[in-house]
């Protein structure tokens, strides 16, 4: 069983990415505390090249970003050697967002890792499951 290699995440076993905590809360290798529940999922980019890559971007509200991320409120995950398992759009979520502009289309319900190489992302409008051999986490300005 292969295990995803993480780059940009602390190696501290109590603050890093674990199969128990998933990707919901962790610290970067530079000591920034990432808590995805306080972000909005903003972008997904899939490129079926060699290797196939998937990039996911999450953005903090300017008032809700941790102090160490106030100048770099965008958290980006870049996955390599990606194999998509499921990509499902939630039509009810999309309908709700259309009818209610204040609905949270990018609210993260779950971002999980199985401890090997399988990831699951559930948002208000998207269900995504995939495998990846490498995950790089970076933070940047908008």
14-47 per-position pLDDT tens digit:
888 877 767 888 999 989 999 888 888 889 999 9
Q: How many CB atoms lie within 10 A of CB 35?
A: 17
Pair of tokens at residue 76: 């980006």
CA 81/CA 79 separation, integer angstroms: 7
* Look-up of token digits 């009810």: 92
**Domain ranges, residue 36:** 5-140
C-alpha distances (whole Å) from 127 to each of 2, 25, 66, 114, 121 are 23, 19, 27, 16, 6
Nearest to 59 by CA among 51, 50, 69, 49: 69
Nearest to 84 by CA among 54, 116, 111: 54
Number of independent structural domains in the chain? 1
Terminal Cα-to-Cα distance of the chain (whole angstroms) = 37
pLDDT in tens, 72-126: 999 999 999 999 999 998 777 667 667 777 766 677 888 899 999 999 998 878 8
Residue 97's contacts (CB-CB under 8 Å, 6 or more residues apart) are 103, 105, 124, 125
Can you give the pLDDT at residue 14? Answer: 81
């Amino acid at each position: 069983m292969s295990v995803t290699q993480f780059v940009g995440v602390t190696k501290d076993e109590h603050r890093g990415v674990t199969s128990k905590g998933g990707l919901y809360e962790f610290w970067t290798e530079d000591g920034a505390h990432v808590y995805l529940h306080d972000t909005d999922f903003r972008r997904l980019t899939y490129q079926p090249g060699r290797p196939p890559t998937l990039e996911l971007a999450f953005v903090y509200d300017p008032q809700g970003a941790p102090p160490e991320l106030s100048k770099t409120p965008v958290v980006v995950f870049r996955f390599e050697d990606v194999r998509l398992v499921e990509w499902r759009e939630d039509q009810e979520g999309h309908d709700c967002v259309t009818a209610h502009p204040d609905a949270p289309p990018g609210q993260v319900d779950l971002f999980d890792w199985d401890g090997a190489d399988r990831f699951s992302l559930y948002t208000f409008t998207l269900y995504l499951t995939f495998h990846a051999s490498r995950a790089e986490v970076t933070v940047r300005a908008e």
